Chains A and B, each alone.
Chain A
Amino acid sequence: MKFCVCIKQVPDVTAPIQIRDGALQMDAGRVVLNAYDASAVEAALVLTEAHGGEVEVVLIGPEKATETIRKALAMGAHRATHLVVDEGAALDSHAVSELLARHFEGADCDVILTGKQAQDTDAGLAGAMLAERLGRPYATNAVGLGLDGEAVVVTRQGDTGQETIALPTPCLVTCSNDMNDPRIPNLRGVMQAKKKPLDARPVAEAPAPRVQTLGYEPLPSREPGVRLDGEPAEQAADLVRRLADASVL
């Protein structure tokens, strides 16, 4: 089976970030492979190792996002497509899914995997948008992925429990990071990645985003908290009194 995994390079949210004039300021060098996409790559690798097949990764991003593609190749993906856009191109899930749909139209790919959301924007839309554009059945928020004959079997995390859904191929699945622990590339993987096929194609015309980001704001700040001192029994009594006063009991 052929798996195609859509991967995004995202800013490292644990790096220091400030707001200046409504814009986010951060070290442009602190970027990572979206954690949810890393889980999607891992799932594709596990399944192709067990059942045969190939894993291709597809990334839309500026030139410098090549390092993130190399990371996925170093994990074990076999080949990559890089749809190159200008640095700072404003792409929302709508535009991303349109570009990906153009790429996948007519492409031979049994299972498309995406992350359930991009870790920086938490939009969580591009996967289902892409599936709909391609007319593929899909499942989102997968915490488990397997093959059963020709069927792709997805366990998805729902609101009050888990649903197990069988999909025929071609299909699309969006992956949670609760699915697995992505492997860390070893030195051999890193060396091999340099020789793997990477097809970089400039995007001539990126679709306009439907959602504009007007600016960024800090979160409303919370009242400073209170530490409750004393022995556990005193702390307990103090807390219960305060919770009763705050009418939350």
Chain B
Amino acid sequence: MPKILSYAAVQNGQPTRASLEGLSRARELAQARGAGLAAVVLAPDAEAHAEVFGRYGAQTVYAVSDPVFKTHLNTPVLEALEAVIGRAEPEVVVFPSTEGVKDVLGALAVRTGGTVLPDVSEVEVRGDGAVEGLRPVMASKFLARVRAEGAPVLVSVRAGSYEATEAPTEATVEPVPFSFDQGSLRQTLREVATSAAGAVDLSDARVVVAAGRGVKDEAGKQLVEELAEVLGAAIGASRAVVESGMFPATAQIGQTGKVVSPDLYVGVGLSGAIQHVAGMVNSRVIVAINNNPDAPIFDVATYGIVGDLYQVLPPLIAALKEQNVAV
């Protein structure tokens, strides 16, 4: 039986939302194709996650457990995925499009003799086994319809492209023996710096508040933080305020930064340059607060407020607090 394999990234002991979205889409593809569905997870305690993947429909869970997966390093990830792909012989492997995945996809394609369709917003498997997808190009001004042949086809799916939906199955766990030779590792991880705001992956957040250059000082930053707090939002940023050092690079949304597609995105004092919009245009509801009525962010905003953020945010925070009390 042909097989579709889905790679699940684990963060803070949980599979990420984007991983479950990918797994859900992989299940639909497998059903349409009459194929089996397997998941692969790399973690210090990979077996512990098997139950979750069964809940989303994985019939087999390839579990690769090793302490080395506590932090990301491309060599062990490549070796483990190569081993699992060799064992499962999938036609298609679905990945969430995270930085960790982007780090290995190209090399994995060369190792497995496969083909990559990176960062798609839609994916289908055709009758002949070819994989077709839509992917944003030209700073997300357009979609390109692309087609890849040559199994395995490695597809990475943008966060928010599909819903994560459960379809419980009894999953069989297949522990994959993995011994990693530290001596062969031609790279050394010297340090991992997790940004305070970054412990929750922005791509997984349901609500995002993003700040731009209009947020000029500590007082402005504090307003943004208060707004994020009342909304239960993750904080994002434009490149301008990452460059200035006001926000960590982990918060950057856009072509260089992350792709987010929350239910609610609030952009505060950012202009909406195409490279920023590339990372947030698929958000369900977009709110823009900017004092320039001609700022391009208003072209994609569901609700626009033309005004000075220092004047607009305090009453907005107050009104949201009241609303929180009321519900």
- A residues sitting closer than 8 Å to B (CB atoms) are 11, 13-14, 17, 19, 24, 36, 93-94, 97, 116, 119-129, 131-133, 137-141, 143, 153, 156-168, 171, 176-178, 210-219, 222-223, 225-228, 232-233, 235-237, 239-240, 242-244, 246, 248-249
Contacts and interface: CB of A to CB of B under 8 A. Distances in A.
A237 B103 contact: no
Contacts of B143: 216-219
Contact of A132 (B107, B117, B190): B107
Contact of B323 (A97, A167, A249): A249
A174 to B, nearest CB: 9
Nearest to A127: B106
Interface stretch (B35-43, B86-94, B175-183, B296-304): B296-304
Contacts of A116: 256
B137 A122 contact: yes
B316 A19 contact: no
Given A11-B138, A168-B186, A211-B115, A237 B147 contact: no
Nearest to A136: B186
B115 A94 contact: yes
Dominant SS among interface residues on chain A: mixed
Given A210-B115, A243-B285, A122 B136 contact: yes
Contacts of A131: 107
A215 B71 contact: no
Nearest to B100: A159
Given A24-B138, A176-B256, A236-B312, A161 B99 contact: no
Contacts of B207: 248
Given A125-B105, A163-B72, A228 B304 contact: yes
B242 A210 contact: no
B220 interface: no
Interface of B: 9, 11, 71-75, 98-100, 102-107, 109-111, 115-119, 132, 134-150, 186-195, 198-201, 203, 207, 231, 239, 242-243, 249-250, 252, 255-256, 263-264, 274, 281, 284-287, 298-307, 311-312, 314-316, 318-320, 322-323, 327
Contacts of A176: 256
A124 B186 contact: no
Nearest to B258: A159
Contact of B106 (A97, A163, A212): A97
Contacts of B100: 158-159
A141 B103 contact: yes
Given A129-B110, A244-B323, A213 B145 contact: yes
Contact of B137 (A121, A161, A240): A121
Question: Could you say which of B111, B138, B200 has the most chain A C-beta atoms within 10 Å of its C-beta?
Answer: B138
Nearest to B322: A240
Given A223-B302, A248-B264, 16 more contacts: A13-B139, A13-B141, A94-B109, A119-B255, A124-B118, A125-B105, A129-B106, A137-B186, A141-B99, A216-B142, A218-B143, A226-B303, A228-B305, A236-B316, A239-B316, A240-B323
B142 A178 contact: no
Pairs A-B, 8 closest by C-beta atoms: A128-B106, A161-B194, A125-B106, A132-B107, A129-B106, A137-B186, A132-B110, A236-B316
Nearest to A237: B319
Nearest to A126: B106
Contacts of B287: 239, 243
Contacts of A228: 303-305
Given A141-B103, A165-B189, A219-B140, A225 B146 contact: no
Nearest to A229: B306
A120 B263 contact: no
7 contacts: A120-B138, A128-B107, A211-B147, A214-B145, A226-B304, A237-B319, A248-B284
Nearest to B264: A248
Contacts of B199: 160
Contacts of A143: 249
A122 B255 contact: yes
B310 to A, nearest CB: 10
A94 to B, nearest CB: 7
B304 to A, nearest CB: 5
B189 to A, nearest CB: 6
B293 to A, nearest CB: 8
Contacts of B252: 178
B147 A214 contact: yes
A98 B141 CA distance: 29
